[in-house]
């Protein structure tokens, strides 16, 4: 979870859009609320940046974009080259000293273990002090190797700067020797994805699914576009059912469908409200829902609370209402699932 605006706003991203950081045009598109209706943008120094632009060229564009563009309410992060790259330290110095208080987080690629998170956090301590930062930069870590997956919980808890874990399917598949990373990925990578989710949620972080690599062109046949949209929807709906809070996207065309997959419908929000209200009016315990005949107990109410928390992220539920129901659950059970899962700031 990203905690922003001096702790008054929090964001669990449904969509994290990555784009090459050396292109000012792409920065401008990412900042535009109409062209890029996403929760989070991540400008990339690493894999998406051509070799000829690595170093001073891409850093200059990145700093100019961060200091001159208005990204509105989006979470803004930067992916430096990985910590073992010769570019890493100067990437970090360029953005931290050149654009203080203009972005929110670092996306750390190729993370191998908790020590790297601690090293980056210590570096951020120094750069924040030197740059005159007024708030702390948070960290998301890419889980894209078997070693990182095995140590995902240690990575997730290595620093209080940690906000989320992101599953990186391409590098992960390469390490396993898997060629097909698009079709049936929620089955073929079921263990890997859910292990990432479990580690993130155990640490109270958000979990973000990998990109869907197929894009459509305006010149494609309508049937082909419909097919690709259906595949994108199926991939993200499946990831949501594995516990992912959101997904990476690689083009604004993916945003609308992806956002919808990680947002409850208005009917689902109203149903969650109804069930929670009924449960508390009847005094709790285990009971049959008179509308559906299904059994309700405290565990099912926690599922409804999580639906309301997702609705709050989408602006469908007020923070006051979420806190009210959250407090009632805590009063009865002695703990608050929304606080435990860091779904309230």
pLDDT for res 28: 98
pLDDT for res 298: 85
Closest CA to 111 of 168, 44, 178, 30: 168
- 3-class secondary structure per residue, the chain: CEEECCCCEEECCCEEEEEECCCHHHHHHHHCCCCCCCCEEEEECCCCCCHHHCCHHHHHHHHHHHHHCCCCCCEEEEECCCCCCCCHHHHHHHHHHHCCCCCCEEEECCCCCHHHHHHHHHHHHHHHHHHCCCCCCEEEEEECCHHHHHCHHHHHCCCCCEEEEEECHHHHHHHHCCCCCCCCHHHHCHHHHHHHHHHHHHCCCEEEECCCCCCCCCCCCHHHHHHHHHHHHHHHHHHHHCCCCEEEECCHHHHHHHHHHCCCCHHHHHHHHHHHHHHHHCCCCCEECCCCCCEECHHHHHHHHHHHHHHHHCCCCCHHHHHHHHHHHHHHHCCCHHHHCCCCC
Q: Using DSSP bridges, classify how beta strands 9-11 and 75-79 pair: parallel, antiparallel or unpaired.
A: unpaired
Closest CA to 106 of 73, 67, 77: 77
User: Residues 6 or more apart from 93 whose CB is under 8 A from it?
Assistant: 127
Other Cβ atoms within 10 Å of 314 Cβ, number: 16
Q: How far is CA 236 from CA 15, 72, 167, in A?
A: 11, 25, 13
Which two tokens mark 1? 């979870």
First CA to last CA distance, the chain: 9
Centroid of chain to Cα 334: 29
For the chain, how many residues are written? 345
| Domains within the chain, CATH numbers bracketed | 2-261 (3.20.20.60), 266-340 (no CATH)
| Residue at token pair 């301590």 | 125
Q: Using DSSP bridges, classify how beta strands 295-296 and 287-288 pair: parallel, antiparallel or unpaired.
A: antiparallel
Which two tokens mark 224? 């082909």
Centroid of chain to Cα 288: 36
- Which residue ranges in the chain fall short of pLDDT 50? none
| Residue at token pair 């020590």 | 115
Compute the distance between CA of residue 60 and CA of residue 31 in angstroms, rounded to an integer: 18
Which phi-psi region, left, alpha or beta, contains residue 142 (left: φ > 0; alpha: ψ -120 to 50)?
beta
Interior angle at CA 59, CA 2 and CA 56, nearest 5: 155
pLDDT for res 345: 62
């Amino acid at each position: 979870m990203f905690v922003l605006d001096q702790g008054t706003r929090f964001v669990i991203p449904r969509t994290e859009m990555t784009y090459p950081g050396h292109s000012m045009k792409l920065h401008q598109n990412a900042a535009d609320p109409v062209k890029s209706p996403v929760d989070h943008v991540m400008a990339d120094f690493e894999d998406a940046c051509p070799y000829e632009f690595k170093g001073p060229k891409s850093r200059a564009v990145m700093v100019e974009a961060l200091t001159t563009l208005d990204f509105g309410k989006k979470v803004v992060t930067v992916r430096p080259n990985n910590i073992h790259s010769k570019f890493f330290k100067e990437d970090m110095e360029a953005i931290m000293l050149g654009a203080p208080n203009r972005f929110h987080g670092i996306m750390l690629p190729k993370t191998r273990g908790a020590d790297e998170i601690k090293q980056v956090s210590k570096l951020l301590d120094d750069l924040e002090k030197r740059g005159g930062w007024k708030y702390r930069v948070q960290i998301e870590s890419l889980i894209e190797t078997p070693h990182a997956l095995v140590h995902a919980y240690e990575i997730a808890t290595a620093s209080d700067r940690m906000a989320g874990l992101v599953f990186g399917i391409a590098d992960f598949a390469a390490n396993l020797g898997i060629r097909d990373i698009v079709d049936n990925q929620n089955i073929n990578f079921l263990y890997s994805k859910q292990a990432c989710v479990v580690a993130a949620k155990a640490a109270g972080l958000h979990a973000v699914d990998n990109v869907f690599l197929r894009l459509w062109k305006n010149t494609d046949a309508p049937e082909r576009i419909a097919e690709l949209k259906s595949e994108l929807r199926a991939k993200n709906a499946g990831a949501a059912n594995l516990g992912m809070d959101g997904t990476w996207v690689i083009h604004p065309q993916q945003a609308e469908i992806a956002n919808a997959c990680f947002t409850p419908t208005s009917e689902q929000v109203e149903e969650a409200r109804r069930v929670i209200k009924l449960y508390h009016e009847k005094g709790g315990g285990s009971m049959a829902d008179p509308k559906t005949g299904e059994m309700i107990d405290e565990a099912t109410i926690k599922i409804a609370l999580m639906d309301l928390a997702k609705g709050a992220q989408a602006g469908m539920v007020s923070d006051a209402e979420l806190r009210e129901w959250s407090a009632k659950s805590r009063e009865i059970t002695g703990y608050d699932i929304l606080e435990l899962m860091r779904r309230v700031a």
